[in-house]
Amino acid sequence: MFFFFISCEVMMKSQVVLLYVLIIMSEGSAKSLKPRRSVFFSDINLKLFKEPDFDGLSSLLVREDIGLLFIGARGKVITLGLDDITEKTSETNWTVSSEDKSQCQNKGKSIEECDNYIMMMHTLDDGRILVCGTRAFDPTCTHLIVDEGNVTMEDTTQSGRGKIPFDPKEKFASMMNGNTLYTAGSLNFLGTRMAFQKHAQNLIKNEDGFIWFFEPTIISMHMAEINKSSENNEDDNVFLFLIENGIEEPRNLRLSRVARVCKSDVGGMRMLRRKWTSFLKVRLDCPFGDIGSPSLVQDVFLLRDENNLTNSVFYATFILNPEPSSTCSQSAVCAYKLSDIRQVFRGNFMTETAYGTWVRFMGALPTPYPRSCINDEMRASGVKTSYDLPDSTLQFLKNHPLMEGAVTPLTGKPLLVRSMAQFSKIVVDKVTSLDGEQHNVMFISNSVVQQRHI
């Protein structure tokens, strides 16, 4: 194993600089996490796109089929050529009227917040792009049409409430599967109502109440196509990564979680009508730093194994101290096998006692209970959709979304730990070196705390 860091070490008045880290690692475990070589950012011949009055970068969409990179920003969507990102091929403006901006400011928001930030772009089956912007705290969606390289925006719009947040600074997650949109974020102007939703013919979302979501911070969402490698045709899984207050913790500590729902969940027939019937959540552990200081997940990337999906690996960045200027800041990268996550969801349930504490559920489980998503065995017993689940099962689901135990990293510890750093985004790729060996390459975005001595 070896590590290759691309870093930027420059004198700045600010305590935070941006560091891009590239780590190349083989499949084996590391004996040392110390990098063998560092390369200055300024020494790398990179292509750079520059444009005046371009700010508020808030979304990206790659369209390899037409060779374009779509960039959503403040009041506009631009496209760059994938062959040469210095080449701008189009610009589509989507601004806010002065009247709408004024109304937004009257509600206590700043002039910058009251612009239109393009927060989400997804490609539909017909080739159009669903695009949603905050539009002065009034989320709105429309479509982009691409015809022979020309990009135009439809005149018709639709409400984007529940699809993207009102606040351009709020974290949220979205994913498109076919023409079905999944989102997780706030539903209201104040950002106090949070929902994990499937925008299908009938909208499906989480049950209200803190035992399902307790002041969550949304991180990312991923589809695991279990059906492709399942021997019993189990339904695909959707995983949501988040941070929330731990209902099982006496001090409501902020904990990292992974939640799971089933792709084909349509809600219950009577109870949990238009609500998830497959929502389960479990703690996500990445042990490093001081004992008792929970690590907080920042980003997650799924590296799929095309030969066996259950061998796919989630790579996640974590921090201990969320304050970038903290001299106690530490960050780490942990990896989790998909099969290990699914195994935890087959474990024991937690239940709330009369005293408000959470303990292992020791009673009899209702039958049938989908610890897994619906599969051939359940279909044979008459449960072909979630409409077929009996009320006893749905009542149990409503009150027992939390699983016992935790998902632990592949190696039992982080792949990488760095002090005085704030890891954020991560992307992972599998490459073949000149000697024929395969390596996983991790690209990590990192804000480094610079200490100054006077």
Q: What is the CATH number of the domain that holds 115?
A: 2.130.10.10
Give the tens place of pLDDT for each residue, 18-30: 333 444 443 444 4
Q: What does 292-332 look like in DSSP terms, one character per residue?
A: T---EEEEEEEE--SS-GGG-EEEEEEES---TT-TT-EEE
* 154 occurs within a structural domain: yes
Burial of residue 433 (number of CB atoms within 10 Å: 0-12, 13-18, 19+): exposed
* 93 occurs within a structural domain: yes
Give the tens place of pLDDT for each residue, 195-233: 999 999 999 999 999 999 999 999 999 999 998 888 899
**What global pTM score does this model have?**
0.89
Please provide the average confidence, as pLDDT, over all residues in the chain.
87
Total of domains in the chain: 1
The first and second tokens of residue 327, run together, are 């001299």
pLDDT for position 451: 45
Mean pLDDT, residues 240-259? 92
Angstrom distance (rounded) from CA 74 to CA 255:
32
Which domain range does residue 69 map to?
57-180
73: nearest Cα among 90, 91, 55, 88? 55
- pLDDT at residue 38 above 70? no
Query: Of the ranges 47-51, 163-167, 329-333, 348-352, which one carries the lowest mean pLDDT score?
Result: 47-51
* 88 occurs within a structural domain: yes
The first and second tokens of residue 14, run together, are 């600010």
Give the tens place of pLDDT for each residue, 266-300: 999 999 999 999 999 999 999 998 776 789 999 99
Instruction: Select, from the ranges 40-44, 152-156, 317-321, 353-357, the one with the highest average predicted confidence (pLDDT).
Output: 152-156
* 261 occurs within a structural domain: no
* 122 occurs within a structural domain: yes
pLDDT for position 343: 94
Mean pLDDT, residues 129-155? 95
pLDDT for position 326: 55
Helix, coil or strand: residue 117: strand
* 244 occurs within a structural domain: no
Angstrom distance (rounded) from CA 11 to CA 85:
28
* 71 occurs within a structural domain: yes
* 447 occurs within a structural domain: no
Which residues is 245 bridged to in the sheet? 254
Instruction: Select, from the ranges 24-38, 233-247, 408-422, the one with the highest average predicted confidence (pLDDT).
Output: 233-247
